[in-house]
């Protein structure tokens, strides 16, 4: 009979409880014997000094102390006898490891793991010291050819630490210090695992998984047999020596792993079977099979991905952190954010060079949710040192990262770094003077050796005459955004792939502003502290959003903010939803050469109007809802073609053909039908189709009010894609020939709460077209929000109980309040003269 092994018997055991930490002035304690007796705090590992202080109620994240410039000590009592191996997965940043007063390890990178072999004789004290960064920042290294203003101080280029906490105007100054990754002791069980290396590849139509497994203790290779099971396919493993098992298993006609927009993210379970006197069966997790290539386009200057030989328009956002204080977050936090991203139609997240390498749980969840990952190495903006020691540190860091993530199908792009080449170019350096072998030689060689199945690019942005050229290669597009360009710049820029784009100060909902900040005014220092800004700029991203309020909506922001701050906030939320939807409609349209775009950023690091599409409490903002209306796998969008009227674009990213009914209607005064047409449409799998609205209608109609033969005949055009059998709406797009937001009407808006088997929903209906409907409820959030509502069509909106994050607990989780009251709140629309109350 086979026993299912307990993970506690085989895997390395986490040393996650019983820790204490204390802070001292830099250099005050040379060794653990000098440490004070008082002032110690309970500490969670993995964790940081900041997370220990937060748990003790001693951290003001808005005004944190400069933790990276003091010393900090951790200690833990170990018990046992015999030889043991400790594994320290990440120490931020200048660290020493002591055992019973003897220093055994010194580390100068938070991005590398260390193994430490020790011998215990009863009990021993493990101590970790995290030294001040000051000496390393003052050390002499090769002279930098440029000094970016992003990070402070500029000598951070010399230290392998995250820029999080060191970027004024971008995020709070919570600096990374402490054992931020797990510390483990390898198990003493007979079959205890040391390391597991899993790789997968496609051979013709088959999937092949290869395993190299190192054990802690030697085995009798003559009596112990082993097999690897992948989804029911079994193969024998071989002993290389008494410690090492290797082998492969083949899965005939393996189902592919897909980004969720294009298919199922199929994963196969892996099981190791060991047969000796113990007869153990152990799960090794899951693995997926896929191929990824870069398509440079017919002219050779583009950038797009082909997954499993199928073009994929990559869309999503740039990741920051699930929790700035711990730098990791919990599985519950990750799942919550991944679900919001997936449901919005995103299929890619970018982990940028200013952040950190994420946990194994992050990449495993990306596999599960069908989200591609664009991964920068943790390098950004700087002219990095060229000495041998720095090169060796990068070699170890990159190799360790790629080895531990080798099994994950979601890893789709490896990028040398963020805005490194761009910074040099903007300082005026020619290409010959800004090249760094780190990005053009060392990292691509490591990537080819460790993850040959993942495309590598040297920098983001890169590829054009200037690295940041928009019409070649990879760009960071802020034409619509920081550069305040009009919407028609989106087509003029000819973006091929935007690894960053569309940064706005996205105002969170009233509930977040109230819960996180209390009563707040728009010029309150607490509001402005959370508004992103670039160092040295005479403007911030509130100003960027206000520019579009004025140019797109015809609103004078300062006057409205003064006279009606509530409406100012509602219009601020609406305008970014508008912009997000319109820009992605342009990039996704039939005939577009754009291969993808990632919004800057996915989640805020502090409460307020940050770049995030999701606020710091986990609530989606209007910008995310705006994107959700444009990013779905089956989608209708419209583009304004001026004198050529409107183009309707039908998109089908699924593997099955689409049969649908396309309806087009134009309304005057939001309710009177002045033009309409309907036709059956068919889309092949993975295809896009353009239909001119004029041809669809079959007669002249000034859809865009470009000809201006008299007063405008309509105020809204609605394109609806329906399932012909059920009549269910598959997708819908709206075009407004005039977007000014001054007019407000009695929309005849009605709302009623209705209990369903799954909870509550609102039934919302209007007699007149309602623009950007928004639901406000103390105890619930709307499953979809900030949407347009055609007249005389009831809309059911599921309500989700507000999820509370138990943020400071070691097992932090989002928990819905199951006891909350029946829904009660209000529904607004930006063209409604007043809100409609319900409950």
For residue 673, pLDDT beyond 90? yes
Supply the DSSP string of 596-620, one letter for each residue: EEEES-SB-SSSSS-S-SB-TTSPB
Residue 4, H or E segment: strand 3-4
The CATH number of residue 83's host domain is: 2.60.120.260
- b vs e for 78-117, b when ≥16 Cβ sit within 10 Å of the residue's Cβ? beeeeebbbbbbbbbbbbbbbbeeeeebebbbbbbbbebe
| pLDDT score recorded for residue 802 | 83
Tokens of 6: 């307990």
| pLDDT score recorded for residue 299 | 94
d(CA 614, CA 607): 10
Per the structure, the count of domains in the chain is: 6
Identify the band that residue 806 occupies on the pLDDT scale cut at 50, 70 and 90. very low
| pLDDT score recorded for residue 804 | 53
| pLDDT score recorded for residue 512 | 86
For residue 805, pLDDT beyond 80? no
| pLDDT score recorded for residue 311 | 98
Identify the band that residue 432 occupies on the pLDDT scale cut at 50, 70 and 90. confident
Supply the DSSP string of 741-766, one letter for each residue: ----B----EEEEEEETTEEEEEEE-
For residue 813, pLDDT beyond 50? no
Q: Give Dmax over CA atoms of the chain in angstroms.
A: 94
Task: Confirm whether 773 is domain-assigned.
Answer: yes
Please state which of the ranges 9-18, 261-270, 824-833 shows the lowest mean pLDDT.
9-18
Based on the fold, state whether residues 708 and 767 are members of the same structural domain: no
Task: Confirm whether 320 is domain-assigned.
Answer: no
| pLDDT score recorded for residue 712 | 93
Based on the fold, state whether residues 58 and 166 are members of the same structural domain: yes
d(CA 539, CA 673): 44
For the segment 231-257, the average pLDDT, to the nearest whole number, is 97
For the segment 753-758, the average pLDDT, to the nearest whole number, is 93
Identify the band that residue 265 occupies on the pLDDT scale cut at 50, 70 and 90. very high
Task: Confirm whether 745 is domain-assigned.
Answer: no
Q: Which domain holds residue 70?
A: 3-185
Beta strands in 93-205 (DSSP E): 94-99, 102-107, 114-131, 183-185, 193-203
Based on the fold, state whether residues 236 and 170 are members of the same structural domain: no
For residue 594, pLDDT beyond 90? yes
The CATH number of residue 731's host domain is: 2.60.40.10
For residue 742, pLDDT beyond 70? yes
Based on the fold, state whether residues 175 and 198 are members of the same structural domain: no
Q: What's CA 630's distance to the chain center, in Å?
A: 18
Based on the fold, state whether residues 423 and 385 are members of the same structural domain: yes
d(CA 205, CA 202): 7
| pLDDT score recorded for residue 820 | 67
Cβ–Cβ under 8 Å, residues 340 and 620 = yes
Tokens of 409: 């199908």
Based on the fold, state whether residues 675 and 726 are members of the same structural domain: yes
Q: Over the stretch 185-221, which tens digit does the pLDDT of each residue have?
A: 999 888 999 999 999 999 999 999 999 999 999 999 9
Please state which of the ranges 477-481, 606-610, 667-671 shows the lowest mean pLDDT.
606-610
Q: Is 444 exposed, middle or buried (0-12, 13-18, 19+ CB in 10 A)?
A: middle
The CATH number of residue 406's host domain is: 3.20.20.80
Among 185, 217, 239, residue at a domain's last position? 185
Based on the fold, state whether residues 413 and 449 are members of the same structural domain: yes
Q: Over the stretch 346-396, which tens digit does the pLDDT of each residue have?
A: 999 999 999 999 999 999 999 999 999 999 999 999 999 999 999 999 999
Q: Could you give the angle at which helices 331-343 and 360-369 cross, rounded to 10 degrees?
A: 30
- DSSP 8-state code for residue 378: S
Mean pLDDT of the residues in the chain: 94
For residue 126, pLDDT beyond 90? yes
Based on the fold, state whether residues 612 and 671 are members of the same structural domain: no
What is the reported pTM? 0.96
For residue 519, pLDDT beyond 70? no
**820 vs 717, higher pLDDT:** 717
Task: Confirm whether 626 is domain-assigned.
Answer: no
Task: Confirm whether 294 is domain-assigned.
Answer: no
For residue 812, pLDDT beyond 80? no
Based on the fold, state whether residues 477 and 566 are members of the same structural domain: yes
Based on the fold, state whether residues 383 and 447 are members of the same structural domain: yes
| pLDDT score recorded for residue 209 | 98
Give the chain's length: 839
Q: Over the stretch 563-574, which tens digit does the pLDDT of each residue have?
A: 999 999 999 999
| pLDDT score recorded for residue 814 | 47
For residue 5, pLDDT beyond 60? no
For the segment 26-50, the average pLDDT, to the nearest whole number, is 97
Identify the band that residue 4 occupies on the pLDDT scale cut at 50, 70 and 90. very low
Based on the fold, state whether residues 78 and 166 are members of the same structural domain: yes
Task: Confirm whether 310 is domain-assigned.
Answer: no
Based on the fold, state whether residues 578 and 599 are members of the same structural domain: yes
Among 436, 454, 469, residue at a domain's last position? 469
């Amino acid at each position: 009979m086979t026993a299912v092994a307990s993970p506690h018997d085989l895997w390395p055991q986490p040393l996650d409880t019983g820790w204490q930490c204390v802070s001292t002035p830099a250099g005050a304690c040379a060794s653990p014997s000098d440490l004070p007796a008082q002032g110690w705090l309970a500490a969670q590992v993995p964790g940081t000094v900041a997370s220990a202080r937060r748990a003790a109620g001693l951290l003001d994240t808005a005004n944190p102390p400069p933790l990276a410039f003091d010393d900090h000590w951790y200690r833990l009592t170990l018990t046992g006898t015999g030889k043991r191996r400790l594994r320290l997965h990440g120490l931020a940043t200048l660290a020493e490891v002591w055992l019973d007063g003897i220093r055994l390890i010194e580390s100068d990178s938070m991005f590398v793991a260390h193994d430490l072999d020790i011998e215990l004789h009863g009990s021993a004290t493990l101590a970790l010291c995290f030294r001040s960064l000051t000496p390393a920042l003052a050390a002499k290294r090769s002279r930098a050819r440029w000094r970016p203003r992003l990070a402070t101080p500029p000598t951070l280029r010399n230290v392998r630490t995250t820029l999080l906490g060191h970027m004024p105007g971008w995020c709070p100054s919570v600096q990374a210090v402490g054992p931020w990754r797990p510390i483990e002791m390898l198990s003493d069980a007979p079959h205890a695992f040391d390391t597991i290396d899993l790789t997968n590849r496609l051979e013709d139509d088959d999937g092949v998984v290869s395993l190299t497994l190192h054990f802690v203790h030697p085995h009798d290779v003559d009596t112990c047999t082993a097999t690897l099971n992948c989804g029911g396919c079994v193969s024998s493993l071989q002993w290389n020596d008494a410690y090492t098992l290797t082998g492969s298993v083949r899965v005939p006609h393996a189902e592919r792993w897909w980004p969720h927009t294009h298919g199922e993210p199929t994963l196969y379970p892996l099981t190791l079977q060991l047969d000796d006197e113990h007869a153990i069966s152990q799960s090794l997790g899951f693995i997926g099979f896929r191929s990824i290539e870069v398509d440079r386009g017919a002219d050779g200057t583009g950038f797009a991905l082909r997954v499993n030989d199928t073009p994929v328009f990559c869309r999503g956002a740039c990741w920051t952190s699930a929790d700035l204080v711990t730098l990791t977050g919990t599985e519950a936090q990750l799942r919550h954010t991944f679900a919001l991203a997936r449901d919005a139609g995103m299929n890619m997240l970018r982990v940028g060079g200013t952040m950190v390498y994420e946990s194994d749980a992050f990449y495993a969840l990306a596999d599960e949710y069908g989200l591609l990952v664009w991964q920068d190495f943790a390098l950004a903006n700087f002219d990095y040192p060229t000495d041998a020691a720095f090169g060796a540190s990068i070699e170890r860091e990159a190799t360790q990262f790629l080895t531990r993530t080798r099994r994950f199908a979601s890893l789709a792009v490896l990028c040398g770094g963020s805005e490194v080449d761009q910074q040099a170019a903007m300082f005026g350096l020619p290409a010959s003077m800004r090249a760094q072998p780190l990005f053009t030689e060392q990292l691509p060689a490591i990537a080819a050796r460790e993850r040959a199945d993942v495309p590598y690019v040297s920098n983001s942005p890169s590829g054009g005459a200037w690295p940041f050229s928009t019409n070649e290669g990879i760009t960071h597009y802020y034409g619509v955004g920081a550069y305040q360009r009009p919407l028609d710049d989106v087509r003029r820029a000819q973006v091929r792939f935007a690894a960053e784009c569309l940064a706005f100060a996205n105002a969170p909902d009233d509930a977040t502003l109230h819960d996180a900040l209390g009563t707040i005014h728009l010029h309150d220092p607490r509001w402005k502290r959370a508004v992103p800004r670039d160092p040295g700029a005479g403007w911030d991203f509130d100003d960027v959003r206000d520019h579009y309020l004025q140019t797109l909506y015809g609103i004078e922001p300062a006057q409205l903010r003064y006279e009606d701050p509530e409406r100012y906030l509602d219009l601020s939320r609406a305008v970014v939803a508008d912009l997000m939807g319109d820009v992605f409609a342009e990039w996704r349209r039939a005939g577009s050469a754009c291969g993808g775009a990632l919004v800057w950023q996915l989640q805020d690091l502090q409460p307020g109007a940050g770049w995030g599409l999701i606020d710091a409490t986990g609530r989606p903002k209007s910008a995310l809802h705006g994107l959700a209306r444009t990013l779905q796998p089956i989608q209708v969008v419209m583009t304004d073609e001026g004198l050529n009227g409107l183009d309707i674009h039908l998109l089908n990213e699924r593997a099955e053909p689409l049969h649908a009914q396309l309806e087009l209607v134009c309304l005057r005064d939001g309710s009177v039908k002045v033009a309409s047409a309907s036709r059956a449409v068919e889309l092949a799998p993975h295809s896009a189709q353009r239909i001119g609205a004029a041809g669809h209608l079959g007669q002249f109609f000034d859809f865009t009010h470009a000809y201006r033969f008299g007063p405008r005949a309509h105020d809204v055009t609605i394109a609806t894609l329906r399932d012909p059998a059920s009549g269910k709406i598959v997708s819908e797009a709206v075009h407004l020939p005039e977007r000014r937001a001054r007019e407000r009407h009695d929309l005849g808006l009605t709302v009623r709460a209705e209990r369903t088997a799954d909870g509550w929903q609102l039934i919302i209906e209007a007699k007149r077209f309602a623009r950007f409907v928004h639901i406000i409820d103390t105890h619930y959030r709307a499953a979809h929000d900030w949407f347009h509502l055609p007249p005389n069509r009831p809309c059911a909106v599921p309500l989700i109980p507000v999820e509370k994050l138990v943020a400071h607990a070691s097992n932090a989780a989002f928990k819905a309040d199951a006891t909350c009251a029946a829904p009660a709140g209000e529904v607004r629309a930006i063209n409604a003269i007043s809100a409609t109350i319900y409950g």
